[in-house]
Each structure stands twice: as structure tokens, then as C-alpha cells.
Structure 1
């Protein structure tokens, strides 16, 4: 049975369009020079070849030989695509070297239109790319005639039952608002300083994912990464299973452990032990049959493995067995959407059910194009993972080592189901560490503070510290018998 939608040949773009373009409709692909419009279009035509459809390229811009070389570079079936070349040739230049394909007065009865009609009738294409449609402006007297010619062309292609993609050179000096009005679908390509995005603003007859989504052109062609939208994802039922930390005293703080499918923040200043505590949770989760991944934004993978082994958290073997992955995310290596696709693949295809983000400052600084959207991006990512039933641990760094107590600095605490805070305190001229639980949505929890140490034997969490006062005020003090410390 023939479906009503056709693939663009770009998996990520199909997801944004909720499975692709509508059959026998037309779409406008607009963008500045160098945005990749032709390569997008070649993917669309090559996908038609893959589906045993007839694909036609109506070329109004670059010479056919150049386009064929481009298609060959990306293995996009250049020999199986039909080309109708209307690009300018040397004999179409006047003596003053001013370019004009045809005199405007001759357009309506021009050989150009007749040849195009003959080509469409002879080839009977299923897919047509007109690249770029804006060249039609040079073939018409005024905007009214331009719109008339475009409508005539679209009607001709519609009568041929073709699915059509038009490209438009979008620039500040040249408006294509009329083309956006005349076409069924509008897809815009944007070039930013550090990344590129694609946006769908119109799609008659179908839903689509709004917003800007990252794309890039690599050795294989175009890759598009739809932005994660938690409200668009299927929700997985949370079982309420408790995941132990493997440290009895820490589990006592958490009323048995963290709850499967929730988001846990490990909050504290640098050097307090957030990453090590997170690694302990992941190690114990794997021993309980979970599959886990840590996305490391702030530390080298080999350094983390060495440090974990040194404090008796044997995760190296788990990594070798494939049950735990440590993925180092270098600065500027990925856009947010590309990283989101990495996470989505891990969860939806590889079966990962525990994820750690280490940490929030690196997340904000390492991903390209985040800007002021870092907080919102983290919220969307965390909610998506929670909707998939994944247990999430986020190492959240606060800047002040001592002083006024803070848990988060960016307003992300509403994402957290559980907040575990780690804190430096001074006692008798010595720096000590304490750990406590500030929040648990899924269950009750112990409200006392405990001393926290990282030793060669692993994490050590002491008995409650009833004599420690004032940590929330920023001036902690010890009272009572010193031996109680």
C-alpha cells in the first residue's frame, strides 16, 4: 500500500517532518549561499532512486557537471537521476557580459517552458528538484508575472503527480515571502557562527516539530539532529524500584537509595566528591543488572578510570564488559542536538537505563551553540530521560567552596527529584566533608548530616552529626563533645 508520505533521504529531517514530506505536494527549501540546499535536494532525489522512483533535477544554477560531481562525492546516485539543465551557458551572455536567459517579454511563450513541459511528459518523474527556483525572477517582467509562472509550474508538476522540492536563495536583500506563501511546506536553513540549524515553519496537512534543529554537512552528506522535546516522546512507566548506592550509611540517608526513573542532583563545590559518588551509584546499578553510561564533560576518561580504581570503585571491568560506558565529550565537539541524538541512541537503541551527566558547567561550556539556552536544554534532556524511565544523575557544581549554602545556581532544582548535597566544612583548622539529602520527591529521607570521606577502600559515610550546626546559614559550627565529631 502506498503511503501518503515520502522520505527526504535524511533520517533526522524525516523525524522533524513526522515521517517525511507529503506525497504530491511541494516544499520550499530556503537558505543563504553555502547552507547546503543542493545537497539536501540531492538526498531527496537519491532516496527516490532507492525507492525505484524516477527523480528529475531541473537545474537553473550550477552546471550539471558540477552537480553530478557533488552527488558522486556523497554517493547519491548521480547516474540514476535525470537532469534537465537550464543553467547559463557561455552563449547566453551578451556582449556586455550581462546575464539574461531570456527576454522577459518572451517568457510566457518561451522555448524554456515548452522544453520543460516536454521533459516532464517524457520522464514522468515521481520526484522533482528545482534548484534554485529564484532564478525564475530573471525570466519575468515583474512580481506578478513571477508568481503566475511559479503557480503554472507547480500546477504542471502537480498534474504529473510529482513530489516537488524547490530551493530558494534567501537573503536580506532578496525576499522570498511570495514563494513561502505559494508553497505547501517551508523549510529554512540557517547558518550561525558555530553551527547550522534547520527549521520547519509551515507544513500543510501534517504536524511537525517546531524550533531550530542542528545539522551539518560531513563526508557522508547531510546529518540532521532533531532537538529533544520531552513532551513529544513516549512515556515509560516507572516501576518505583530502589537503586542502592552500595554504601549502607548513604542508603540510610536516602531511605534505601534513589528511585528508578528519577533525576538525582549531586550538588557541591569542586573537589568535594560528586563524580566519585556518581560513579559509585553507576557501579552499583550495573551490579543490579542495569546498563549505564556516564557523559564526561570535565575530566578525561582514562583519568576517571584510574581515580575510581584507586578508591576501590572497580568500574574498569564493567567498562570492558560493555555494561558501563564512559563517553568523553570534548569542548566544541558537538551541538546540543547532536549530543541529544547520542543520548537518544543510547537509551532507545542500546537499552541504557542509567545516565550520568558530569557536570553542568562542562555541559554548558562544551556544547556548541548553547548560548543562554543551557538551563532550558538541561531541563529538556532531563525530562526526556525521565520520561523514558531512565535513572539520571547530574553532577552540579556550585562555585562557593565555603560561605552561604547553595544547592543550585541556575534555577535547575525544579528538574531534580532528589538532591544530595556535599559540602566542605572547617573543624579545628582542618577541612572536612559532609553529605546530606535536601529533597526526595519519591520517598521520605533522613534529614541529618553525616561526615563523608573518600578513602582507598571506597566511600565512607559516618554516623549522623547531631552536633554540627549552621551549615545552611553558611557558618557551620560544632557544639558539644569534640569526640562526637
Structure 2
């Protein structure tokens, strides 16, 4: 049996719990509450690719993408050199799609832009942050699922490994992206009464063609960024 090729995420300790990394050319959902580390996790992923000579892209739907770079630079200042060289391409949709349309961007408009940029920049890794800012052009659940399925399939047909960041809104309700993504990584940020403090954790809810545990692993911010411990 052939062993699938894996690509590292750049998050220390995480790849060990998913058989060495992510499957290339697939789309993954990264979700969690505010402050859980979603953007930092995503920047680790892009920085790891840039270090290996890949072209990567960060598509920000709301915030100035430079803020994400500034946050990452606290842990690894080398991120600036990759941004300046274009190995980490930054796209600020907060200034384009939102202001031009005057309303949340649709899947179609974002997908068209991503396809153009990914092709022109020869991107192999990308992050869309957050996809929950994208509006559906149709309120019918079946149509929403079809639009998202087309969005994910188009990205995968380009051979790009993608992380779609989503704000966690309802723990009891899984939306379409949970079912359509190749894998679902959930970050946690909660009060641990045993230590009397807020703690972070990471949980792999789903990862196709991968043996993984579903328990929550401790996740910590260190002077080098996020670290997963066993």
C-alpha cells in the first residue's frame, strides 16, 4: 500500500497527531472561538510553505492582513522577509470586495479572485480568513451546499492546499463546510477549573485517510508560536 505524501503545518507537535501532516491539494476547515489561535495557526502553515520555497497566500476577508503578519512576527520575525519577497502574498478583501459591493462578498466573487491570484502567483498553499464573512447568494440550504462544494472543488483542482478559517458560532450545529472539507481542526479556549485559568486546546474532529485521536490536546502560545503537547 502506498503511503500518502504529507506536508507539515509548521505547528510544532501538531503533525505528530495526524500521521505527519496534511494531504496536499486538499481543503481543511480550521475553526474555534475568538482568541483560540486560528490566525496564528494559519500563519504557521503559510510560513512553513514559504520556508520550503513555496508560494503562499493569505486572503483576509475583514482585517488588515498586515496585522496577522505583525502578530506572527512576535514569534518569528523572518515572516517579514517572506512577505517582502512575495512568498507570502497578502490580499486585503476588506478594502476591495466589501467596500466596492457595500455588502458581504459572495462565494462567486471571492472564488473568482482567488483563482486569478492563485494562478498568477503560482500558489501552493492558501488561507481564507474568515469564510464566515462570505455571504451566500441563495438562502436555500441545498444551493448553499452546492456553492461551497464548487468553491472547495475549484481550489482542489488547482492543486492548492487550503485552510478555511471559520468563527465558531454554535457548538451544537455543524454547517456545510464541516462535511465538505477534507479535515476539520477545532481550536478550543476555555476555563479550566482545575488550574483556575483559561487554557487552549486543539482537536481533530475529522481527517480523511488519516488515523487520529479525537481528544483535545493541550495547545500553548510560546516564544516560538503555537505548540501542541501530548
Q: Aligned residue pairs: how many? A: 215
Contact 1:170 1:176 in 2 (8 A): no
Partner of 2:167: 169
Which digits, 9 at most, give the CA deviation of each residue in 1:362-397, with x for residues without a partner?
A: xxxxxxxxxxxxxxxxxxxxxxxxxxxxxxxxxxxx
Q: Helix, strand or coil for the counterpart of 1:197?
A: strand
| Correspondences of 1:264-343 after superposition (within 5 Å) | none
Contact 2:115 2:155 in 1 (8 A): no
Q: TM-score, normalised by structure 2?
A: 0.83
Does 2:103 match 1:100? Answer: yes
Does 2:7 match 1:10? Answer: no
Find the partner of 2:188 among 163, 187, 190: 190
Q: Helix, strand or coil for the counterpart of 2:36?
A: coil
Partners of 2:98 and 2:161 lie apart in 1 by 33
Contact 1:125 1:160 in 2 (8 A): no
Partners of 1:198 and 1:10 lie apart in 2 by 11
Contact 1:5 1:23 in 2 (8 A): yes
Contact 1:18 1:209 in 2 (8 A): no
Partners of 2:27 and 2:112 lie apart in 1 by 21
Partner of 2:49: 48
Q: In the TM superposition, what is the alpha-carbon distance from 1:186 to its structure 2 partner?
A: 0.8
Q: Helix, strand or coil for the counterpart of 2:90?
A: strand
Partner of 2:207: 203
Contact 2:12 2:226 in 1 (8 A): no
Q: In the TM superposition, what is the alpha-carbon distance from 1:3 to its structure 2 partner?
A: 6.7
Change (3 A) 1:42 1:114: same
Which digits, 9 at most, give the CA deviation of each residue in 1:44-83, with x for residues without a partner?
A: 0000011111111111131122122223222262413011
| Correspondences of 1:217-296 after superposition (within 5 Å) | 217-226=221-230
Q: Helix, strand or coil for the counterpart of 1:192?
A: strand
Partner of 2:138: 141
Change (3 A) 1:113 1:181: closer
Q: In the TM superposition, what is the alpha-carbon distance from 1:175 to its structure 2 partner?
A: 4.2
Partners of 2:50 and 2:98 lie apart in 1 by 33
Q: Which runs of 5+ in 1 are unaligned?
A: 227-485
Give the RMSD, CA atoms, in angstroms. Answer: 2.6
Find the partner of 2:148 among 141, 147, 150: 150
Change (3 A) 1:89 1:10: same
Q: In the TM superposition, what is the alpha-carbon distance from 1:88 to its structure 2 partner?
A: 5.0
Q: TM-score, normalised by structure 1?
A: 0.41
Q: Which runs of 4+ in 1 moved over 6 A?
A: none
Contact 2:26 2:156 in 1 (8 A): yes
Q: Which runs of 5+ in 2 are unaligned?
A: 192-196
Q: In the TM superposition, what is the alpha-carbon distance from 1:116 to its structure 2 partner?
A: 2.3
Contact 2:148 2:176 in 1 (8 A): no
Q: In the TM superposition, what is the alpha-carbon distance from 1:222 to its structure 2 partner?
A: 0.6
Find the partner of 1:84 among 91, 108, 111: 91
Partners of 2:18 and 2:97 lie apart in 1 by 40
| Correspondences of 1:341-380 after superposition (within 5 Å) | none
Q: Helix, strand or coil for the counterpart of 1:199?
A: strand
Which digits, 9 at most, give the CA deviation of each residue in 1:1-28, with x for residues without a partner?
A: x971000101211111121111112211
Partners of 2:189 and 2:138 lie apart in 1 by 32
Rg comparison, structure with higher value: 1
Change (3 A) 1:203 1:173: closer
Q: In the TM superposition, what is the alpha-carbon distance from 1:89 to its structure 2 partner?
A: 6.4
Q: In the TM superposition, what is the alpha-carbon distance from 1:158 to its structure 2 partner?
A: 1.0
Larger RCO of the pair (alpha carbons < 8 Å, separation 6+): 2
Does 2:69 match 1:74? Answer: no
Change (3 A) 1:48 1:90: closer
Partner of 1:337: none
